[in-house]
Amino acid sequence: MPFLDQTLWNKKVFNGQWLDSSRSYDVIDKGSSEVLGQIGYADANSILESSVIAKKMQGTWWQKTYLERQNIFENAVKVAQEYQNEIIDWLMKESGSLRMKAAFETQITIQILKNCISLPTSNQGQVLPSTNGKISLAKRVPLGVVGVISPFNFPLYLAMRAGAPALALGNAVILKPDERTAICGGMIIARIFELAGLPEGLLHVLPGGADVGEAITLDKNIASIQFTGSTAVGRIIAENAAKNLKKVSLELGGKNSLIILDDADIEIAVANIAWGVFLHSGQICMTSGKILIHESIYQKVKNRIIEKVLDYSVGNPSDESTTIGPLIDIKQANRVIQLIKNAVQHGAKLEIGGTSEGVFVQPTVLSDVDNNNPIFSEEIFGPVAVLIPFSTDEEAIALANEGDYGLSAGIITSNAGRGINLGQQLQVGLLHINDQTVNDETLNPFGGFGASGNGTRIGGPANIDEFTQWQWMTIQSQAPQYPL
Amino acid at position 478, single letter: Q
Cα dist from 212 to 41, 136, 237, 358, 443, whole Å: 9, 42, 12, 29, 31
Q: Where are the beta strands (DSSP E) in 123-221?
A: 125-128, 134-142, 145-149, 172-176, 203-205
Q: Which of 94, 251, 351, 466 is catalytic?
A: 251
CA distance linking residue 375 with residue 369, whole number of Å: 8
Q: Which of 179, 285, 351, 379 is catalytic?
A: 285
Active-site residue 251, yes or no? yes
Cα dist from 286 to 56, 176, 215, whole Å: 38, 22, 29
Q: Tell me the CB-side half-sphere exposure of residue 379, using CA atoms within 13 A.
A: 23
How would you classify the pairing of strands 145-149 and 172-176?
parallel
CA distance linking residue 36 with residue 226, whole number of Å: 29
Answer yes or no: are the C-beta atoms of 305 and 400 closer than 8 Å. Answer: no
Q: What pairs with residue 28 in β-bridges? A: 35
Helices (H), 253-358: 266-278, 298-310, 330-345
Answer yes or no: are the C-beta atoms of 19 and 11 closer than 8 Å. Answer: no
DSSP state of 437: S
Residue 459 CB-density burial (10 A; 0-12 exposed, 13-18 middle, 19+ buried): buried
Residues contacting residue 188 through CB under 8 Å, at least 6 positions apart: 4, 87, 90, 156
How would you classify the pairing of strands 224-228 and 145-149?
parallel
Catalytic sites, residue numbers: 251, 285
